[in-house]
Amino acid sequence: MNSSRSDLSEILRQQRVMMSLTLGELAEKSGVSASHLGRIERRERFPSGRILRRLAKPLGFEENELFALAGYLSPTPSSVAEESPAYVGRRLDPYVARMLAQEPVDVQRAVIGILSILKSLAGSMAGERDRQ
């Protein structure tokens, strides 16, 4: 399996963990069976467009973000990104959008994977600090 496909599996898993969802909870929210979600996360299956649509909202993604990560759509150019709801709502910094848009798709996906891992680590560190 190529790296972008395995990156998507890792991004989906990291996002699920970051949102504190079990496979069962994500299955309930998305309507995709927990066993199928597990196969996606273990890289045994690659999600179809229909599955990505079902996963987008419960995982906090825009559908087009997941489609781009899966390679079904080309990444959004920065000029279009600046008009998207994520940018207009100030969820995406214009500098970040421009910088990522200049990078190849594999680099963009790697950055997202790294960011997901860092967010997950930061969340668990914050949770440990709160328990002390």
What percent of the chain shows pLDDT beyond 70?
75
The whole-model pTM stands at 0.58
Q: How much is the pLDDT for 78?
A: 45
For residue 99 the two structure tokens come to 């910088």
- CA dist 109 and 69 (Å) reads 7
Confidence of residue 52 (pLDDT cuts 50, 70, 90): very high
- Range of 16-30, 72-86, 115-129 with top mean pLDDT: 16-30
In the chain, domain spans: 3-131
Contacts for 69 with CB less than 8 Å, ≥ 6 apart: 4, 7, 8, 11, 109, 112
Domain at 3-131: CATH architecture = Orthogonal Bundle (1.10)
Average pLDDT score over the chain:
79
**Is 120 a residue whose pLDDT tops 50?**
yes
Q: How much is the pLDDT for 128?
A: 67
Mean pLDDT, residues 77-103: 59
Mean pLDDT, residues 40-62: 93
